[in-house]
Amino acid sequence: MAIELNVLFKALTKDDKKEVLKFEIKGEEDNQAEADLFDLSGSIVVFSLKAGGDDVVQNMNAEFVSMQRDSKKTVLKFAVNGDPDKAQALYRVAGRNVYLSVAPSQMSIDDFREPREGVEYKVGPDGTAELQKDKNQLTIDEVAAAADDPMHDVDDPEPF
């Protein structure tokens, strides 16, 4: 049950570890959609953006921080963690009217805010991934050499 609205992508600001997105709904375009959005406020949602008929981002998790309404507009605030590639795509459409699709997520707020561990890497201009050097990481050659050694899993070579 996604809620779809035509909104103004007002601002995109970067915080310590997250991007804060602000959208404006002018006037009273769709009262039922705004009521449905109000129910999602304060939870984790999945949103998608389209600008000019093209997908900007799809199925991005965000914390629906707040929804503020006054007589002229309704302001929606979302906080997005990580994923710098998707954030770059968002910068290109800031300040434009976009189609926003919002749906509830099964992710909890604790899961959303929890930092994720992973492998550090950089993507080169040709699209290849290069891993950061880790002193505890074995190379494929080291693993192959250990497999060839019949004593590779024995702690003490002279037990007597």
Instruction: Provide the whole-model pTM.
Output: 0.62
Please compute the mean of the pLDDT values over residues 124-151 and round it to a whole number. Answer: 77
Q: Within 10 Å of residue 81's Cβ, how many Cβ atoms?
A: 18
Please compute the mean of the pLDDT values over residues 104-116 and round it to a whole number. Answer: 64
More confident residue, 120 or 41: 41
> What backbone torsions phi and psi does residue 91 show, to the nearest 5 degrees?
-60, -35
Please compute the mean of the pLDDT values over residues 68-94 and round it to a whole number. Answer: 81
pLDDT of residue 77: 92
pLDDT of residue 21: 87
Compute the mean pLDDT over every residue in the chain, rounded to the nearest whole number.
78
Q: Is the pLDDT of residue 39 over 70?
A: yes
